Amino acid sequence: MTTLFTNARIHGTAATAMAVADGRIAWLGAEYPGTADQTVDLDGGFVAPAFVDAHVPATAAGLLRTGLDLTGATALSDVLDAVRDRVLANPGTLLSGHGWDETRWPENRPPSRAELDSVAGATPVYLSRVDVHSALASTALVDLVPAARTASGWSADGPLAGDAHHHVRRAARDSITPEQRRAAQLSFLRHAASMGIACVHECGGPDISGADDFADLLAIEGALPQVFGYWGAFGELPAGAHGLAGDLFVDGAFGSRTAALREPYTDRPDTSGTRYLIADQIADHLVACSERGIQAGFHVIGDAGADAVLEGFDLAEERVGTQVLTGVRHRLEHLEMIDIDHAYRLGSLGVVASVQPLFDAYWGGAHGMYAQRLGEKRANGLNRFAHLREAGVQLAFGSDAPVTAVDPWATVRAAVQHNTQIFGLSADDAFTAHTTGGWRAAGDTDFLAGRLVTGAAATFAVWDAPDLVNGLPPLDRSPTCLRTVHNGTTIHEVSHGTP
C-alpha cells in the first residue's frame, strides 16, 4: 500500500509531498508520478524526523500522569495539602507521588516524616523527589519494610536515600497492580506519541521498575512508539532487552546530594555524595558486555563518578583491547560533570552520551539548584554538550521523565539556550541529537535512520508550525504535534483539533 502525503513542508528538502510504501519513504518531490492507494493532505504542516527519547523509565513517567503530581508545588504546605486531600479520598490505599523540589520553596526543606504522618495517618505514602534519588516515606510505609531503618541512606525524620530509599520504593512498586502498571505504561507511550516521539529507550532495572514491569512494557503491542529496553544490572540479558545499560548506578544525583564529587557539596560540607560502583566493577561489566557484543552503560553524574567510569574503561581496554571495547558503542547516562579531557577520552572510545538538556533549564543558572548544591563556579561547568560534541561523543537527548517533562522541542531549546553559553549547541545539532542521535545511541547502523530521504524508514512527525527559522520552528515555544508516524504506521493523529 502506498500513502501519499501532500501539501507539506518537509524538513531539509524543497519537497512538498512524500510517498510512503512498506514502511519506507518511496519518493519525495512536488508532483507524484505514480498512483497512491491513499492521499493525506497535511494542510501545510511541517514534516520532520520523529523524536527519540533516549532515557525514560516508562512506568514511573506514566504514574506521574495517573498519580499525585507534585512538580507544581511551590511550598512545603502544597505537598502536605495534596497528600491530605488524596488520603481523605482513598484512605488506607498506598499513595504514590512524585516531583517535589525543596530548592524552589521558601522553606528550602522538605516535610519531615512527622509532618507527613500528620496528614497521612495510617496510609502508606511514597513521594519521590524530582530527581528520583531520594523520597519521603510515611511511617506506615516504612513499617512495611523494617529493613529500611538499618540500611544506608536512612534518616529518622527526613528523606530516604541509597538502600533505604530502594527498600521503600520497592514496597511502593509492589503495591501497584498489573492493571495499574499497564495503564501507566500506555498513558506514557500515548503521551510520548502525541509529542512527536516515535521511539523511547526504557531504562529499567531491579531497583527501578523490576523484572515484571520491564517484561510487561516490552510485551506491549499496538500503534505506539518503539521501545528499546535497557536493563540496568549485571548478569544476564533479560528477554527482549537491548543492552545491560541505562540506570546501572555509579552514583546518584545533585539534588539529593548523592552524585559522587571530588570535593564536598557547598551546602553540605560533610558529604561528597555516594559512589555505588568502583572501577573494577565497571571494568568487569564493560568486558563481559563487550565480549558478548552488547551495549553496557552506566548512570553517572558527579566528577568523582566520571573518574571511576574512565578508570573502568581504561582497565577494560587493557583486558579486551580497543577494537572490542569500542565496537559496541557503550552508553553513559546524564554525564553532567566531566572534564574536557574526559570528553575527548570518551570520544576516542566511541561512547554514547545520553543526556538531558532540561536538567540545565530546570536547575542551572546563578540561583538554581546546581549553584545551591555546588557553588556557582562548579555549577557553571555542568552539562558540556558542545565540548562532548566537539570531542566526537555521540549525543542522544532524552527527558528522564518523570524527572523532566516529555517535551522534545523544549529539550532542543534548552540545549541551544544553555545557561553556560559556551556549552550550548546550534539548533540543528540539538535537533539531530534528539532524532538521529537516539537511533545511533541504540546501535542503529542504518545511515538513513532519523532522516527524511528516499529509502529511509517513514518515521516522522507533522507539526503545526507556520513559521520556520533556518528550517526549524522558532524556539520560543513548542509547536503542536498533529501526527506521528513510525515505520509508516500512524501512532498519533489530531482530528479536527482534538487528539
Residue 393 is predicted with a pLDDT of 97
Residues 6 or more apart whose Cβ sits within 8 Å of residue 320: 287, 290, 291
Question: Among positive and negative, which fits the CA dihedral 187, 189, 190, 193?
Answer: positive
Helix extents (H) in 122-177: 139-142, 162-174
Residue 377, domain member (yes or no)? yes
Mean pLDDT over 121-140 rounds to 94
Confidence band of 496 (pLDDT split at 50, 70, 90) = low
Shared domain check, 164 and 83 = yes
Q: Which grid cell sits at 104?
A: 524552589
Shared domain check, 273 and 360 = yes
Predicted confidence (pLDDT) per residue in 3-17, tens digit: 999 999 999 999 999
- pTM across the whole model: 0.92
Shared domain check, 241 and 144 = no
CA atoms of 296 and 278, how far apart (whole Å):
15
- What is the CATH number for 205? 3.20.20.140
CA atoms of 302 and 38, how far apart (whole Å):
52
Distances (CA, A) of 103 to 255, 267, 367: 8, 12, 10
Backbone angles phi, psi at 15, to 5 degrees: -70, 150
Q: Which grid cell sits at 188?
A: 506514557
Predicted confidence (pLDDT) per residue in 287-325, tens digit: 999 999 999 999 999 999 999 999 999 999 999 999 999
Which of 133, 158, 174 delimits the end of a domain? Answer: 174
CB 240 within 8 A of CB 229: yes
DSSP characters for 305-373?
A: HHHHHHHHHHHHHHHH-HHHHHTT--EEEE--S--HHHHHHHHHTT-EEEE-THHHHHH-STTSHHHHH
Predicted confidence (pLDDT) per residue in 78-91, tens digit: 999 999 999 999 88
Q: Which of 310, 301, 307, 318 is nearest to 360 (CA)?
A: 301
Mean pLDDT over 158-185 rounds to 91
Which helix (H) or strand (E) is 480 found in, with range? Answer: strand 480-486
Shared domain check, 187 and 165 = no
Residue 359, domain member (yes or no)? yes
Q: Which of 135, 267, 276, 146 is nearest to 205 (CA)?
A: 276
Q: What is the dihedral of CA 231, 237, 239, 245, to 10 degrees?
A: 20
Order the strands of the 46-49 sheet from edge to edge. 9-10, 46-49, 460-464, 480-486, 489-493
CA atoms of 128 and 136, how far apart (whole Å):
6
The pLDDT mean for the chain works out to: 95
Predicted confidence (pLDDT) per residue in 316-357, tens digit: 999 999 999 999 999 999 999 999 999 999 999 999 999 999
- Of the ranges 61-75, 367-381, 405-419, which one carries the lowest mean pLDDT score? 61-75
Mean pLDDT over 166-191 rounds to 91
Residue 446 is predicted with a pLDDT of 78
Residue 467, domain member (yes or no)? yes
Residue 369, domain member (yes or no)? yes
CB 81 within 8 A of CB 100: no
Residue 497 is predicted with a pLDDT of 47
CA atoms of 302 and 103, how far apart (whole Å):
19
CA atoms of 176 and 298, how far apart (whole Å):
27
Shared domain check, 481 and 407 = no
Residue 63, domain member (yes or no)? no
Q: What is the domain extent for residue 42?
A: 2-50+451-493
CA atoms of 257 and 49, how far apart (whole Å):
38
Which helix (H) or strand (E) is 377 found in, with range? Answer: helix 376-379
- What is the CATH number for 477? 2.30.40.10
Residue 498 is predicted with a pLDDT of 47
Q: Which grid cell sits at 288?
A: 563481559
CA atoms of 320 and 70, how far apart (whole Å):
47
Shared domain check, 214 and 336 = yes
Tally the domains of the chain. 3
CA atoms of 279 and 52, how far apart (whole Å):
31
Predicted confidence (pLDDT) per residue in 238-255, tens digit: 999 999 999 999 999 999
Q: Which grid cell sits at 498?
A: 482534538
Order the strands of the 2-6 sheet from edge to edge. 24-29, 17-21, 2-6, 38-41
Shared domain check, 293 and 150 = no
Predicted confidence (pLDDT) per residue in 184-235, tens digit: 999 999 999 999 999 999 999 998 888 999 999 999 999 999 999 999 999 9
Mean pLDDT over 362-375 rounds to 96
Evaluate if residue 440 carries a pLDDT over 90.
Answer: yes
CA atoms of 100 and 327, how far apart (whole Å):
41
Q: Which of 260, 208, 203 is nearest to 230 (CA)?
A: 203
Would residue 288 be called left, alpha or beta, if left means φ above 0 and alpha means ψ between -120 and 50 degrees? alpha
Shared domain check, 392 and 256 = yes
Shared domain check, 260 and 187 = yes
Evaluate if residue 499 carries a pLDDT over 80.
Answer: no
Which of 174, 208, 223 delimits the end of a domain? Answer: 174
Which of 129, 156, 174 delimits the end of a domain? Answer: 174
Confidence band of 275 (pLDDT split at 50, 70, 90) = very high
CA atoms of 186 and 106, how far apart (whole Å):
36
CA atoms of 5 and 29, how far apart (whole Å):
11
Shared domain check, 261 and 139 = no
Neighbours of 435 (CB within 10 A): 30
Residue 61, domain member (yes or no)? no
Residue 116, domain member (yes or no)? yes
Residue 69, domain member (yes or no)? no
Which helix (H) or strand (E) is 204 found in, with range? Answer: strand 197-204
Shared domain check, 423 and 382 = yes
CA atoms of 46 and 457, how far apart (whole Å):
18
Shared domain check, 230 and 357 = yes
Q: Which of 331, 271, 264, 262 is nearest to 295 (CA)?
A: 331
